Amino acid sequence: MASKRSDVITKGFERTPHRALLKGTGVPGEQMDKPFIGIASSFTDLIPGHIGMRDLERFIEKGVHTGGGFSFIFGIPGVCDGISMGHKGMHYSLPTRELIADMIESVAEAHRLDGLVLLTNCDKITPGMLMAAARLDIPCIVVTAGPMLAGRGRGGRAFSFVTDTFEAMAQFKAGVIDEQQLQVCEDKACPGAGSCQGLFTANTMAILTETMGMSLMQCATTPAVSAYKRRLAFASGQRIVQLVHDNITPRQIMTREAFENAIRVDLALGGSSNTVLHLLAIAREAGVPLPLEEFDRLSRETPQLASMNPGGKYFMEDLDAAGGVSGVLYQLRDRILDNPTLSGLTVKQVIDQVREVDEEVIQPLSRPVRAEGGIAILAGNLAPKGAVVKQSGVSEKMMHFEGRARCFESEEAAMAALMGGQIRGGEVVVIRYEGPKGGPGMREMLAPTATLMGLGLGDSVALITDGRFSGGTRGPCIGHVSPEAAEGGPIALVEDGDVICLDIPGRKLELKVDDETLAARLEKWRKPEPKIKTGWLARYAKVVTSAYTGAVTSIDE
């Protein structure tokens, strides 16, 4: 093959010290001419979605060496959003996306690796790895470790993480279930390895990764515990060596067409609202213009075709059996743009290979679950730069809603009011100073949204925030309100009792307060002291951008 990046550390007498160090790691001299492949592994004992990665690392290694490369495993950190939820730990979750991208860049550049296999699964880890791939633009392939199987109880009842832990917690508080039933939920919700079973952020990002062509077909939906996942890992290891030989890089794959396809598939499945943040950030690294408004344009013309947990009834294992990502692409075939994938096939060629789709799970365009896609972008005087709602999880009754504001300066304060029975029907819970800067870290708030549903308030109370929500969120919950409160956005000026109007079909989020009054309130507003003044989050808060730009770290904005 032609010259390689790794030649910088393996060729010539002046690289004798470099080769000596490589031999010190066990690299045989005759292997120095082979492509050096980094396996960026986010294995950890802390996250169910990642505990099976030691096994997948072995099969990726086997594939790399079978393909004619030499592999090196290096570690990437992971944070479990579920475990870090509802306390200080959640401040760190979104910011780790930037750390992951920076770490992969650092290792790949410092050691002049020729290609990368990115072994990932959960929420911020997958987008962080895709950001690194786009930034480096060296041959890369993604292996997502796969979804968890649904838990099973008596009579075959299916359990999932969100509805059977977070929402069950509120149901117990409300007396709907007893302590024994709560314990069953705790014991059955997470039966083993894999990302949470529904269409939460981890699985949505895996699906979008496959849709964009950055992982092999079926990788996204194949369960973590299946033998086929091992075979996909092996095949990915083989494939990266060929990608290096052919010099096929991420920016050739992650084109404008790829991002549009990803958004359409996300909308058709009713995926996580967090994908808005992540796709914006990945597109920025790939040099692809992607305005926030594009999500709403596509949502209006892309019907929702599947009823996926948490808002619906199907789990990832059902989607996999029904045809997986290829099946969704097939149902959307007239609206999907052709684009290359890392498999060597184009998207249209992938679609042409589909032979059967279970239309009870992935419904046809002629019989959609909803006429519009799962995500809507709202705007108005309360969110001049936009806000995001997962409309696939909102009941028809709450698509239009008007209520009086109950304002809270943190997630904890709102949770205390919810659990204390202080929130009533007809109110709008406003949680602010939880944005990228104000949080800092734009904490994911599954607890308050799940509590709303568990308490039976999902059809009478709305929630808005400059923070963000879990992929498991359902109900009338509007996040990413921009500008955020910490930047003096209108959400900082809301007072208890103000009337807020939510109109999802009309894409409106309005505060029924006149401009003159808001201007007077802004005159009196003072930027609050940072919540965290030490450590790296204090530095993060100074450089992170608004949610409508993807909440990326930038010294230019």
- 3 state SS of 404: strand
Residues 6+ apart with CB under 8 A from 515: 381
Dist. CA 327–CA 354, nearest whole Å? 7
386 sits in which H/E element: strand 383-390
Token reading at 278? 């992540």
Residues 6+ apart with CB under 8 A from 204: 266, 269, 271, 272, 274, 275, 471
Relative to beta strand 151-152, strand 158-159 is: antiparallel
Write the DSSP symbol of residue 124.
T
Residues 6+ apart with CB under 8 A from 487: 435, 437, 438, 546
Relative to beta strand 508-511, strand 427-431 is: unpaired
In the residue annotation, 6 being an active-site residue is answered as: no
Catalytic residue among 41, 272, 470, 482: 470
Tell me: is residue 81 an annotated ligand-binding position: yes
Token reading at 384? 């001049």
Tell me: is residue 514 an annotated ligand-binding position: no
509 neighbors 377 (Cβ within 8 angstroms):
no
Q: What is the DSSP string of 464-491?
A: EESSB--TT--SSEEE--SS-GGGT-GG
Dist. CA 14–CA 371, nearest whole Å? 65
Dist. CA 292–CA 15, nearest whole Å? 48
Please classify residue 134 by burial: count the beta carbons closer than 10 Å to its beta carbon, then call 0-12 exposed, 13-18 middle and 19+ buried: buried
Long-range contacts of 405-409 (CB under 8 A, 24+ apart): 405/430, 405/494, 405/495, 405/496, 405/497, 405/498, 405/499, 405/500, 406/430, 406/496, 407/432, 407/494, 407/495, 407/496, 408/432, 409/433
Total Cβ atoms within 10 A of residue 30: 7
Token reading at 215? 């992982």
Tell me which amino acid residue 401 is. F
Dist. CA 270–CA 452, nearest whole Å? 20
Return the ∠ at Cα 533 (arms to 445 and 201), rounded to 5°.
25
Token reading at 139? 């041959």
233 neighbors 337 (Cβ within 8 angstroms):
no
Q: What is the DSSP string of 493-518?
A: G--TT-EEEEETTTTEEEE-S-HHHH
Q: Which residues are annotated as a binding site?
A: 81, 123-124, 444
As annotated, the active-site residues are 470
Annotated binding site for Mg(2+): 81, 123-124, 444
